[in-house]
Amino acid sequence: MRVGNALEKADAGSAVLAGWASPRDGKRMILVTGAGGFVGAAVVSELARRGISYRAVTRTPREGSLCIGDIDPRTDWTAALDGVDAIIHLASRAHVMDEAIASPGAQLRSLNVDSTLNLASQAIKAGVKRFVFISSIKVNGEATKPGRPFTAEDTPRPQNPYAQSKHDSEKGLFALARAPGSELEVTVIRPPLVYGPGVKANFATMMDWVNRGIPLPLGSVNNKRSFVFVDNLADLIALSAIHPNAAGQVFLVSDDEDISTTELFKKLAQALGRPSWMMPLPIPFLNFGAAMIGQRAITSRLTESLQVDVTKTREILGWQPRDSLSEGLRQTARSFQALHLDQVPRSA
Domain membership of residue 36 (yes or no) is yes
The pLDDT of residue 23: 47
> Which residues are designated catalytic?
162
Whole-angstrom CA distances from 49 to 26, 42, 199, 229, 285 are 20, 10, 21, 17, 49
The pLDDT of residue 25: 45
The pLDDT of residue 228: 98
Domain membership of residue 284 (yes or no) is no
Domain membership of residue 171 (yes or no) is yes
Length of the chain, in residues:
348
Domain membership of residue 283 (yes or no) is no
User: Which stretches in the chain have pLDDT values below 50?
Assistant: 1-8, 10-11, 22-25, 97-100, 346-348
Domain membership of residue 115 (yes or no) is yes
In angstroms, the CA 291 to CA 298 distance is 10
CATH code of the domain in which 7 resides: 3.40.50.720
Domain membership of residue 103 (yes or no) is yes
Domain membership of residue 163 (yes or no) is yes
The pLDDT of residue 298: 73
The pLDDT of residue 6: 42
In angstroms, the CA 184 to CA 177 distance is 5
> How many domains does the chain fold into?
1
In angstroms, the CA 86 to CA 130 distance is 5
Domain membership of residue 317 (yes or no) is yes
Q: Which domain holds residue 116?
A: 3-195+227-257+307-323
In angstroms, the CA 170 to CA 133 distance is 8
The pLDDT of residue 3: 37
